[in-house]
Amino acid sequence: MTTPANPTCFVHIGPHKTGSSSLKHFIRANEDELETRGLFFPRSRDRQGKRARNHQILALCDEIGPDGELRSGAVFWPEIDRVARGSRTNILISSEMFSASLSHPGRLDRILTFFEKRGYDVRMLAYVRDQPAWLNSWYVQSQKRLARPEPFEDFAEEWLREGRVEPARYLAPFLADQRCAVEVISFERAAASGLEDDFIRRCGIDDCASLTRATVRNTNAGAKTVFAARQIMERLGGSPRDDDGYGPIYRDFKIRTRELGWDRQPHIGVDEAFAAKIRARLAFSNDAFSRRHFGTSWAEVCPPRTLKRSVFTPEDATQAEMDEIEDVVSTVVKRFSRRRRKSAKA
């Protein structure tokens, strides 16, 4: 590996559902070893010493002024500042939220100015993947988290219209800024060769053999889970994400569905016919982007997955299955309803 003239901050910008959870657990399992090899992964602890769940807080950039200097009272960025000023150690910050968060006006500029003033190059690491399967994964997550009470078709249409899974659009702010390099990575290719090893080599760590392997995977929540989540949101009249006590109730819901084995049958809300329509709609943009960044067609970079629709249908279920789902749904609805009544009285 050729040593660059300047140290580098690698900014893994996701997006969602491209292995970010697996990478986070892998990096955390090896952060001490990676640091000895010259790659610092910030711990991001608050004033109480509690570690942040991820680096999403860094993307707000409210601790960095337009001049690239830290503002008074900064909590999360000072540890990065100390490393950047005190050594030539490479730095890795990572969040699946960065691709969206850093697109807000001024945020990317502040991060780039911060590192530029400290003599660092910045390299964005961004994944792309086959959109039909990607949309399905994103949809399942939104339903599991009780976030969006809508059918898959409506969800897919909104996100296609807004360009959230179209690389030429969601990566545009990063590609347009000459102060950072953007390394575009095929999720399918990386996953086939070993996602964690592929990623960490891009961060300058060539020897991966001795690194601890992460076992955590953010799997498909399952067809029954999606059905139950839709029932919960329907009975509550919408998403309870903003409700007081959402976190513990959602966590228990997630644990319970896993204990029941609902993730054994994945939810796939898109069939081959709909997948073909999505690919046709994005074909021109995808191919132009792929040939620019990979020198080959999109189909070579992100091979299309064969998709067979798999959803839970009450008509095909046994009474025992329906009773099991009703028990979970009614428990969650009752807990949220009690919380709402308590909040209304307060």
**What pLDDT is stored for residue 215 in this prediction?**
65
Per-residue burial over 51-63, b if 16 or more Cβ lie within 10 Å, else e, is: ebebbebbbebeb
* pLDDT tens-digit series, residues 51-82: 877 788 898 889 999 999 999 999 999 999 99
Average pLDDT across each block of 10 residues of the chain; the chain has 346 residues. List them in order: 76 91 92 95 82 83 95 94 93 94 94 97 96 95 94 95 96 96 96 93 92 74 96 97 95 96 94 96 98 97 92 96 98 97 86
**What pLDDT is stored for residue 1 in this prediction?**
44
Per-residue burial over 265-303, b if 16 or more Cβ lie within 10 Å, else e, is: ebbbbbeeebbeebbeebeeebeebbeebbeeebeebbe
Domain boundaries, the chain: 8-130+166-202, 223-265+313-345
- How far apart are the C-alpha atoms of 188 and 209, rounded to whole Å? 22
- Written as one string, the DSSP assignment of 8-22 is EEEEE---TTSSHHH
Q: What are phi and psi of 49, to 5 degrees?
A: 85, 5
pTM of the model: 0.91
Provide the CATH number for the domain formed by 8-130+166-202 in this structure.
3.40.50
- How far apart are the C-alpha atoms of 129 and 134, rounded to whole Å? 7
Residue recorded with tokens 């006590």: 245
Q: How many CB atoms lie within 10 A of CB 144?
A: 21
